[in-house]
Structure 1
Amino acid sequence: MSKYSLGEFLRETEQDEQENGYFELETPRVLEVNLDGEVWAKAGSMISYDGQMKFEREGIFEHGLGKMFKKAFTDEGSSLMKARGEGKLYLADQGKKITILQLQNEGITVNGNDLLAFEPGIEWDIKFMKKIAGMVSGGLFNVHLKGRGMVAITSHYEPLTLRVTPNKPVITDPNATVAWSEHLEPEFKTDISLKTFVGRGSGESIQMKFSGEGFVVVQPFEEGYQSSQ
């Protein structure tokens, strides 16, 4: 249905006023954070809020010198902001689909472009893929998250999860790779023959190979890693 009376439109799209958990999907592309304290979120992802809140850009010394130097080296464009206060906070990122993960003392690595929000008690660290720096526009960085709490990730359209087993490695395009399980370490391989395809970028010639036991999340979209320059 694409035509609505005003009353029908309001009923279809009105926010849910019921008491919800810390992270809830208000729609498949809007995350509701029922804030009572603080939360880390992707800078620029706030679309609305009600209540009393303050927003702070991630400070250069917020997480210690180690993370500061990593951020300077990666020139990453996905800075974090901290929201503090009470009320309902609504987050979104370019209309991408949102998935909420509940970590139970587990770990996951997420592409830096696809991390929307996480609870402040979760430990995190930036992982820079040095081997393909210069091959992919702006390089490629990921964020490893570990602990107990909720993490919200994003994907263009519906994500697909692929199982990795010792006898069945999985190979992905870096630009379509959203996340992978804690104990997997991707290897990078170059397929020279793919460079000959006319009209295609050089990204297809770089592939990520996951071996071992775990899973990889991919999206049906090749997302460019843009530098800030």
Structure 2
Amino acid sequence: MTRYSIDEFIKQTEQEDKGEGLFELESPRILEVNLESQVWAKAGSMIAYNGRIKFEREGILEHGLGKSFKKALTGEGTSLMKATGQGKLYLADEGKKVIILQLQNDVIFVNGNDLLAFEQSIQWDIKLMKRIAGMMAGGLFNVRCEGTGMVAITSHYEPLTLKVTPGRPVITDPNATVAWSGNLQPEFQTDITLKTFFGRGSGESIQMKFEGDGFVVVQPYEEVHMNPNR
């Protein structure tokens, strides 16, 4: 039988150039970066590469004191690395599904734990949701990505995008919320009924409320963010 031979395995899983540009989905859970200069990626997400690529941890003053201070507040979740050089770089994050977004002068917010990589042309800033920092382990933070270029985000299993329209708000579980459009500003609310039902201190009682005109992406999984400093 050749069905399970090594040659057949290599044929089924071998890297394949699709000619899609800087970011390609090598598989649903592996991002291929056809690196020619520089890209930002989640620290620790490199699984393989070839060519001449240099990796640098984000410098403490690389983006100014403001970002460094916010970064310190959020723990390790937003650690980024800079990959510079020429070659092929393969990124993954705990087997999560990879989604590539081509921003065209757009703004999108991404949960800090679900941002995998983005082009050098993208402007970014870390936003700590201070109002719930004491309500959830380690608080909750997100990254604001703006400009024109590619952004790769991750989701546990298949993501679901919900439209937000005036008069029809969408309420989500913060731990299941992956991303949302830049024109939305979520508010946090506590559902007293759920709090009573699940017991005091349960994260289920905290909800994100999105109002206006835009979209929010959720995943069928609740990520619990632990602050290593606690």
Count of aligned positions: 227
Distance 1:55 1:200, change over 3 A: farther
Alignment root-mean-square deviation, CA: 1.5
**Kindly, what percent of the aligned residue pairs are identical?**
72
- 1:12 is paired with a residue whose SS is helix
Question: How far, CA to CA, are the matches of 1:5 and 1:226 in structure 2?
Answer: 43
Q: Where do 5+ consecutive residues of structure 2 fail to align? A: none
Corresponding residue number in structure 1 for 2:177: 177
Q: How far apart are residue 72 of structure 1 and its match?
A: 1.8
Give runs of aligned pairs for residues 78-97 of structure 1, distance below 5 A. 78-97=78-97
Q: Which sections of structure 1, spanning at least 5 residues, go unmatched? A: none
Q: For residue 217 of structure 2, what is the aligned residue in structure 1? A: 217
Q: Is contact 1:40–1:117 with CA below 8 Å preserved after alignment?
A: yes
Contact 2:186 2:211 in 1 (8 A): yes
Q: Give the aligned residue type for 2:84.
A: R
Looking at structure 2, the residues matched to 228 and 77 of structure 1 have their Cα atoms a distance apart, in angstroms, of: 10
Amino acid in the other structure paired with 1:109: F
Partners of 2:211 and 2:58 in 1: how far apart? Answer: 35
TM-score normalised by L of structure 2: 0.95
Residue 63 (structure 2) pairs with residue 63 (structure 1): yes
- Once structures 1 and 2 are overlaid, which stretch shifts more, 60-69 or 178-187? 60-69
With over 3 angstroms needed to count, the CA separation of the structure-2 counterparts of 1:11 and 1:120, relative to structure 1, is same
Cα drift, residue 55 of structure 1: 0.2
CA shift for structure 1 position 19: 4.1
Query: Who is 1:163 aligned against?
Result: 163
Matched with 1:98 is 98
Q: Distance in 1 between matches of 2:18 and 2:219?
A: 32
4+ long deviations beyond 2 Å = 17-20, 73-78, 195-201
Tell me how far apart the structure 1 counterparts of residues 40 and 135 of structure 2 sit (CA, whole Å). Answer: 30
1:43 aligns with 2:43: yes
Distance change (3 Å), C-alpha of 1:187 and 1:86 = same
- Verify the 8 A CA contact 1:76 1:141 in the aligned structure 2: no
Structure 2 CA distance for aligned equivalents of residues 171 and 212 of structure 1: 12
Q: Separation in 2 of the partners of 1:182 and 1:4?
A: 48
- The Cα of 1:212 is off from its aligned counterpart by 0.1
CA distance in 2, matches of 1:222, 1:103: 26
Tell me how far apart the structure 1 counterparts of residues 199 and 123 of structure 2 sit (CA, whole Å): 42
In 2, the alpha carbon distance for the partners of 1:201 and 1:43 equals 31
Residue type at the aligned position of 2:156:
H
Q: Which residue number in structure 1 is paired with residue 29 of structure 2?
A: 29
CA deviation after TM superposition for structure 1 residue 187, in Å? 0.6
Distance of 2:44 and 2:61 partners within structure 1: 20
Check conservation: 1:77, 1:228, Cα contact below 8 A.
no
- Scaled by the length of structure 1, what TM-score is found? 0.95
Q: Which residue of 2 aligns with 1:111?
A: 111
